[in-house]
Structure 1
Amino acid sequence: MRSYLFVPGDRPERFGKALAAGADVVILDLEDAVAAPNKAQARDNVRRAVDDGAQVMLRINGAGSQDFIDDLALLHGLPLRGVMLPKAESVGPLGELAEVTDAPVIPLIESALGLWEVMTVARGPGVERLAFGSIDFQVDLGCDGSDEALLHARSRIVLASRVAGLQAPVDGVSVALDDEAVIAAESRRSRALGFAGKLCIHPRQVAVVNAAFSPTREELEWAARVVAACERSAGAAVSVDGAMVDLPVLLRAQNLLAMAG
């Protein structure tokens, strides 16, 4: 799963466009994108869309609010691709989610406390992978959104995901809507750090994100050469393109080919 596209839960006229945008996952949003007076209507919109067959993820409201309680009621028996939990900072809300749904959960790490407790959150019930709420995180810390300022947080989320045995995490949104070069550069940086996907806030971002998190033709050609050389060598030492191939290199090549389907 490379691209996760948000669409406001109170804008049902946008659901169809989002589902047709080519994103790997569409997230109907009940949290930040929906004003307080529209929360109840947004829940009704979500239920109708899912009842009509929409395959979506749902971002619910943060724990400790009445909206979180109302969202838990909505989740009973609702078939979803997953649930995104904002402001994840402890295991408690994950336990509450586990009582009402068996959908996989993606906690959003978007505060100092969330990053401090990231390993506890990563090992919580139902957690499939983590996501980085980079915008909220920089507001909470009072830092800028530069690569340097957020490098520690990103690296720690990737590390915690690996140690906890989760799927590779999802990086935060890009605020660039029309600058494909910026979106591509941010996505490549995320992939280089160990992220496997990125949150999107506009359909125009999806294709760029998908391309950045997919193996390139050159990578696939290299991977095919590595696998073929190892098969021919029958376990003997082998080199490809002037470089020695050991087990980690072979595994990387096999993973690239698996990513390509």
Structure 2
Amino acid sequence: MTPRSWLYVPGHRTERVAKALTAGADVVVVDLEDAVPAEQKTTARETAVRLAAEGSPVWIRVNDPAGPWGEADVDALAGLGVAGLRLPRSADPALVREVGTRADLPLQLLIESAAGLARATELATAHPLVAGLGLGEADLAADLRVTGDEGLAWARGWVVVAARAAGLPSPVQSVYTDVADLDGLRASTRRARDTGFVGRSVIHPRQIPVVHEIFTPSAAEVAAAQAVLDAAARAQERGEAAVLDGNGRFVDPAVVRRARLVLDLHHPSEPSPGGTS
């Protein structure tokens, strides 16, 4: 199923990790990178390995795999029972191929620089285990020297195109850093949904209900989607590729794909490995 919320939690704060696992997010992402001070990197990595040994279906954001911390993270988690790895600062397809081969786990690539953005289509197809693209917007904005949110609009559109062109899930929107501003989160998340993102990373449990509100279809949307699939099934039985449904709406394969996404979001309890920061 398609996840709506991806909750980050610092890996060295074991008490927070335990709470995050029961906070109601569709996916938990244990962070070994930005939220973890240098002196706690080993502790965070040990937490991730323990969760893997327990079979916990978490994602792990490792450190930059081009550096020693990231190399150690990948080596420690390679082949273990986590859902996958989020790779920060992704910009080099060759490095992604190396990590994919070493880790043997699904990879979500966080694009956080102009160099990474320029190679987004190459990154998306760098290794069969690449499961999603996304933006790390704070770092990307700094690298691009944009001063307002509108300066990232084209980058967001480009990562949506790069992901979908590679057959990957729609990207997961980056975090909204003002935890207290739930109205701003709601408006930002609605824009993300309308421009091709599905789901959002969050940094506090209080953000989860807002993200779920935006990405959970209404009862009317669910009913309409089911009607589309029913009409398509009847058309298939008659050997037709497109048909008008009972309300006079044209139903073709593209409309069916959209209806299936609506129903996936209506039943998000079994996350699929797509999407990211």
Structure 1 and Structure 2 fold alike (TM over 0.5):
yes
3-state SS of paired residue (1:58):
strand
How high is the TM-score relative to the length of structure 2?
A: 0.86
Match among 234, 237, 257 for residue 263 of structure 2: 257
Q: CA deviation at 1:243?
A: 4.4
Following the alignment from structure 1 to structure 2, what is the Cα–Cα distance between the partners of residues 48 and 253?
39
1:213-249 deviation per Cα after TM superposition (whole angstroms, max 9, x unaligned): 2222221122233344555675474256564444433
Structure-1 residue corresponding to 2:136:
133
Among 39, 42, 47, the alignment partner of 1:40 is 42
The one-letter code sitting in structure 2 at the alignment partner of 1:260 is H
SS at the partner of 2:85?
A: strand
CA contact (8 A) 2:79 2:105 kept: no
SS at match of 1:140: helix
Of 51-60 and 235-244, deviating more is 235-244
Is the deviation greater in 40-49 or in 230-239? 230-239
Q: Secondary structure at the match of 2:12?
A: coil
Is the counterpart of residue 238 in structure 1 residue 244 in structure 2? Answer: yes
TM-score between the two structures when normalised by the length of structure 1 = 0.91
CA RMSD of aligned residues (A): 2.0
In structure 2, list runs of 5 or more residues that go unmatched.
Answer: 268-277
Could you tell me which amino acid in structure 1 is paired with residue 265 of structure 2?
Answer: M
Closer/same/farther in 2, CA of residues 241 and 178 from structure 1, 3 Å limit: farther
Partner of 2:16: 14
Q: What secondary structure is seen at the aligned counterpart in 1 of 2:258?
A: helix
Rate the CA distance shift 1:228–1:102 in 2: closer, same or farther, 3 A.
same
Deviations along 1:91-135, one digit per CA (max 9) or x if unpaired, are 122122223222100000111111001011100112001111111
C-alpha separation in 2, matches of 1:174 and 1:156: 20
- Contact 1:180–1:208 under 8 Å retained in 2: yes
| Identical counterparts, % of pairs | 39
Query: Residue 237 and residue 113 in structure 1: after superposition, are their counterparts in 2 closer, same or farther (change >3 A)?
Result: same
Secondary structure, aligned partner of 1:199: strand
Written as runs of structure 1 = structure 2, the 5 A alignment for 1:21-170 is: 21-125=23-127, 126-146=129-149, 148-170=150-172
* C-alpha contact (below 8 Å) 1:60/1:68 kept by paired residues: yes
Q: How many angstroms apart in 2 are the aligned matches of 1:95 and 1:245?
A: 40
Q: Which ranges of structure 1 fall in alignment gaps of 5 or more residues?
A: none
Number of aligned residue pairs: give it: 260
Deviation for aligned residue 1:17? 0.8
The residue number in structure 1 matching 2:215 is 213
C-alpha separation between the residues in 1 aligned to 2:52 and 2:234? 50
